[in-house]
Amino acid sequence: MDESEDPAARDKDFVGSLGKGLEVMACFGRQHARLTVSQAARLTGVSPASARRSLMTLAALSYLGSDGKHFWMEPKVLLIAQSYLASRPMPSLAQPLLDALSERTRESASLALLQDDDAIIVARSTGRRSLSTGLGIGSRLPAHCSALGRVLLASLPPDEAASRVARMPRNKLTPHTVDDSAELLAIVRRCRLQGHASSDGELEVGVRSVAVPVFDRDAKVIAAMSIAVRAERMALSELQEAFLPALQRASQSLTARLYPG
């Protein structure tokens, strides 16, 4: 995190130490469940001394645990996530709709928002046919190869979408992942025209998904909703034919609940 290049870091109201602490906290995950000071510094781009101060402060506040060398998340961190879920209406209003959609289709349904280069899941219902990805609330899906992310990219002004795609990492997660920027932008444009996006084995081999936008009362996209299935269950065209109408109805119902009257 180079403060000389970060406009927020030059703002007199910006607390740099707090920002660094939050960046350190955000670097923990399934692939980085336990971190040393040097690993946290590398992942966040801060100096080891700065990373150590952040880690030690978070440990003193009981957000992290430590054995003196490694640090890990403690349950107190969940209070932050719970504060978001409790204070924002969208996840709680979406949950029964996702549950009904999942029960009807027997597949997994998710709601996501755009966060940096990822679609972050804020509500989810797991179907009877579970997927191996093990997704949950707070999971991040790369925007370039997930149906949810493509819908959210398509919601941006074309120039902004092109700029984001050009600078985002487009890792090839499977042999099917589209990582070419021109091809990805063509997919985003098609999504903008069609009103839905798909991902066929690009995020995980053997998993197909379709997603639609969720609108506010002014027809601005505020989220994306998806259904994912195992590839052996049905072809992508069958997925779209079978579940896209129900997904669109659920999206419309969420808009109506968010903006009654």
CATH of the domain at 126: 3.30.450.40
Are 153 and 196 found together in one domain? yes
pLDDT digits (tens, 9 = 90+) for 11-64: 788 888 898 899 999 888 777 899 999 999 999 999 999 999 999 999 999 999
Are 180 and 251 found together in one domain? yes
The answer as to whether 197 is a domain residue is yes
Q: Is pLDDT above 90 for 133?
A: no
Report the distance separating Cα 56 and Cα 36, nearest Å: 11
Q: Which of 182, 217, 196 is nearest to 152 (CA)?
A: 196
CATH code, domain carrying 24: 1.10.10.10
* Other residues' Cβ atoms within 10 Å of the Cβ of residue 205: 13
The answer as to whether 82 is a domain residue is no
pTM of the model: 0.83
Q: Is pLDDT above 80 for 129?
A: no
The answer as to whether 71 is a domain residue is yes
The answer as to whether 83 is a domain residue is no
Q: Is pLDDT above 80 for 259?
A: yes
Residue predicted with more confidence, 102 or 10: 102
pLDDT of residue 202: 96
pLDDT digits (tens, 9 = 90+) for 81-128: 888 888 889 999 999 999 999 999 999 999 999 999 999 999 999 876
pLDDT digits (tens, 9 = 90+) for 54-81: 999 999 999 999 999 999 999 999 898 8
Show the domain range for 38.
3-77
Report the distance separating Cα 229 and Cα 231, nearest Å: 6
Are 124 and 204 found together in one domain? yes
The total number of structural domains that make up the chain = 2
pLDDT digits (tens, 9 = 90+) for 211-241: 999 999 999 999 999 999 999 989 999 999 9
Label each residue of the chain as H, E or C. Answer: CCHHHCHHHHCCCCCHHHHHHHHHHHCCCCCCCEECHHHHHHHHCCCHHHHHHHHHHHHHCCCEEECCCCEEECHHHHHHHHHHHHHCHHHHHHHHHHHHHHHHHCCEEEEEEEECCEEEEEEEECCCCCCCCCCCCCCEEECCCCHHHHHHHHCCCHHHHHHHHHHCCCCCCCCCCCCCHHHHHHHHHHHHHHCCEEEECCCCCCEEEEEEEEECCCCCEEEEEEEEEECCCCCHHHHHHHHHHHHHHHHHHHHHHHCCC
State how beta strands 118-125 and 197-200 pair. unpaired
End-to-end CA distance of the chain: 45
pLDDT digits (tens, 9 = 90+) for 149-191: 999 999 999 999 999 999 999 999 999 999 999 999 999 999 9
Q: Is pLDDT above 90 for 2?
A: no
Report the distance separating Cα 146 and Cα 131, nearest Å: 15
pLDDT of residue 1: 44
Are 117 and 71 found together in one domain? no
Are 98 and 71 found together in one domain? no
Q: Is pLDDT above 90 for 5?
A: no
Are 69 and 101 found together in one domain? no
